[in-house]
Amino acid sequence: MHGHLILEWGSLVSQTVPATWLVYCRAGFERDAQAELEHHAEQGGICVKGHTGEGWASVTHINGDTINLLQRDVPFAQLIFARQSLVALPALTLSREDRLSAIAGQVSEAGWNFESIWHETPDTNEGKSLVRLAKALTRPLEIMLKKRGGLRRKAGGRRLHLLWLSGDQVQLGMSFPGNRSELSGGIRRLRFPSRAPSRSTLKLEEAWHEFVPRDEWDACLAEGMQAADLGAAPGGWTWQLVQRGMYVYAIDNGPMDKALMATGQVDHLAADGFVWEPPQRLDWLVCDIVDKPSRVLAMMERWLVRRWCREAIFNLKLPMKQRWQEVQRGLGALEHALKQADVNATVACRHLYHDREEVTVHVRLLDNR
């Protein structure tokens, strides 16, 4: 499969031009990531050809021109299904007797220089089997590229990424500070807290890391705040709120974790999250209800237009085939409704590592009315 793609790319582009925009993604969501890249290319008036493999997607400039400007003009933070965003060279087929010379040669031909090198693999079982090989090549490649001037102390923070597709296939990409994930593979791995009622707790923790700058946590996730958790049972998301010292309205007809209720910080109300209304304005609304995205978005629109909360994090389940298109339409409608209601807010969305068939949305109201 990859060999066919390499021949195809080789016919499209020069061996030294970064004509490809490459992103990592969750396995099974490659078409969604590709559709997202193609959308941005179309918006930029650039004709591209798309490719996918397990755990990655890309678009290549059809004329073989550099893709740098397009990748730069689409901030990584705006991408939904991408875990990492790179400009890339054509994939290489390597000799198993001498893998390093071809890699160093392509770097030299491209004229690239950088401050660090990251060896990465797709987030698949096959990809994980390549980790040992990547580690074995790390130090020898660094030495070789230093001698050739590619690896330097000061190179504007640029980073070389080697995406290992197999033992003899690799694709080289470049990332730039301020427009990339600073996590290996774009994956934030969190330790499951043993006292939490369910593993879903990691979804909310990761969302905070993703959407709330770390230096704002003390102000935005402060002790004594009030929050609502719609569809709370058994309490995975409520547990995170309680750990931050918040008081929580847990809305669900199902039972809550007993230890969580013993904290005295949770008011469990057996009610339908779609119709419940808060007694006063809250600091946070969180929601992981399993239902149609359109229904969840309508509920969120009501909360935000009426300013029942200052900040919200919620998940949209994505069972449909055209997931990128559905998310784009749904979020566009939400942003339009907020604008029509004169609600000044920021809306961000990401397919997080701990998400599966869903994306996580964060909304922050910017006015104090």
Structure confidence at residue 369 (pLDDT): 67
pLDDT, tens digit, for every residue of 232-263? 999 999 999 999 999 999 999 999 999 999 99
- Listing DSSP states for 223-284 in one string gives TT-EEEEET-TT-HHHHHHHHTT-EEEEE-SSPPPHHHHTTS-EEEE-S-TTT---SS-EEE
What architecture does CATH give domain 201-365?
3-Layer(aba) Sandwich (3.40)
CA 145 and chain centroid, separation: 30
Tens-place pLDDT, residues 88-137: 999 999 998 999 999 999 999 999 999 999 999 999 999 989 999 999 99
Residue 5 has pLDDT above 70, yes or no: no
Q: What is the pLDDT of residue 321?
A: 83
2-183 CATH choice from 3.50.50.60, 3.90.950.10, 3.30.2130.30, 3.40.50.300:
3.30.2130.30
Residues labelled as active-site residues: 317
Amino acid at 161: H
Confidence of residue 328 (pLDDT cuts 50, 70, 90): very high
Phi-psi region of 57 (alpha: psi -120 to 50; beta: other; left: phi over 0): beta
**What ranges do the domains of the chain cover?**
2-183, 201-365
Q: DSSP states of 104-170 as a string?
A: HHHHHHHT--BSEEEEE--SSHHHHTTHHHHHHHHHHHHHHHHHHT-B-S-STT-EEEEEEEETTEE
* Residue 369: alpha-carbon gap to chain centroid: 32
pLDDT at 12 over 50: no
Does residue 320 surpass a pLDDT of 90?
Answer: no
Helix (H, G, I), strand (E, B) or coil at 198: coil
Between strands 159-166 and 48-53, the pairing is unpaired
pLDDT of 26-58, one tens digit each? 999 999 999 999 999 999 999 999 999 999 999
Nearest to 79 by CA among 25, 120, 124, 121: 25
Read off the pLDDT band of 8 (50, 70, 90): very low
Provide the pLDDT for residue 15. Answer: 56
**pLDDT at residue 14, as a whole number:** 42
- As a whole number, mean pLDDT of residues 55-62 equals 97
The DSSP bridge partners found for residue 251 are 230, 269
pLDDT tens, residue by residue, 124-173: 999 989 999 999 999 999 999 999 999 999 999 999 999 999 999 999 99
Question: What's the average model confidence in pLDDT over 186-193?
Answer: 96
